[in-house]
Amino acid sequence: MELPQHVRLVEVGPRDGLQNEKQPISVADKVRLVDDLSAAGLEYIEVGSFVSPKWVPQMAGSAEVFAQIQHKPGVTYAALTPNLQGFEAAMLAGVKEVAVFAAASEAFSQKNINCSISESLQRFVPLMEAAREQGMRVRGYVSCVLGCPYQGDVDPQQVAAVANELFEMGCYEISLGDTIGTGTAGKTRALFEAVGRDIPRDKLAGHFHDTYGQALANIYASLLEGIHVFDSSVAGLGGCPYAKGASGNVASEDVLYLLDGLGIHTGIELEALVQAGERICQVLGRDNGSRVARAWRS
């Protein structure tokens, strides 16, 4: 299959990236990060999530962040909403697009949100109904698609079943997440082949963690399968608070460098993106997880 001419990057650093940091992060620093990312040319930014601060302390203040960011025309500023209560809070904050998540692993679902996959999907029914009433788009995530920290391998058919349920509920796009970063290029292609039998590939996205250093290879394999939407996190921020040993998301800078080298258009300026990552890493007092950023610095 030919490579796509255009790829859309979904920047998840402000949500999936920051949620795993230990130190408190101010609203002002979160706002600066989002504004830096939109200034670099990102057209889709996951700004925060409307969950209980008891479970994800770093996402406290998401409403304030949405209120203070510069809402650039043409940019989607989205939020993760795990239930109807979170959706309603997002609505009050002026959020225009939300995301929901389910696991492809029963063990992970129980550990993560204390319910079965089926029960988690049922929780989304009233949320999806409310979103339809408001004319709001909902994006779906499926986690642990290429491996689970508790049960090991995950059957691609199980991933396909969960993805199909989310798609049939009304999610306009399904992002398949290699939460613990154990996937390989071959398994990635087999996964998209299985899920792509029922869901059009232009409705699928890839979300890769770089625990085993395979994320870029998996993205290239996904491109060969006709996938042209990828989640990434500036400076490689992130992990998973419920997946021990999972390293950060693949760095947006590294993905952009790959795509630029392939002649694939994104509309994102690499230098500005690197600067955004360097700035938030200074705030966090941590090393930049982007190999491209480290190379530029040296």
Which residues are known catalytic residues?
240
Whole-number Å distance between alpha carbons of 22 and 32: 19
How many other β-carbons are positioned within 10 Å of the β-carbon of residue 94? 11
Contact 193, 224 (CB under 8 A): no
Query: Side chain identity at 178, as an amino acid letter?
Result: D
One-character DSSP codes across 55-116: T-GGGTTHHHHHHHS---TT-EEEEE--SHHHHHHHHHTT--EEEEEEES-HHHHHHHHSS-
Q: Is 261 helix (H, G, I), strand (E, B) or coil?
A: helix
Q: Cβ neighbours of residue 75 under 8 Å, at least 6 residues apart?
A: 38, 42, 43, 44, 45
The angle subtended at Cα 90 by Cα 87 and Cα 96, nearest 5°, is 100
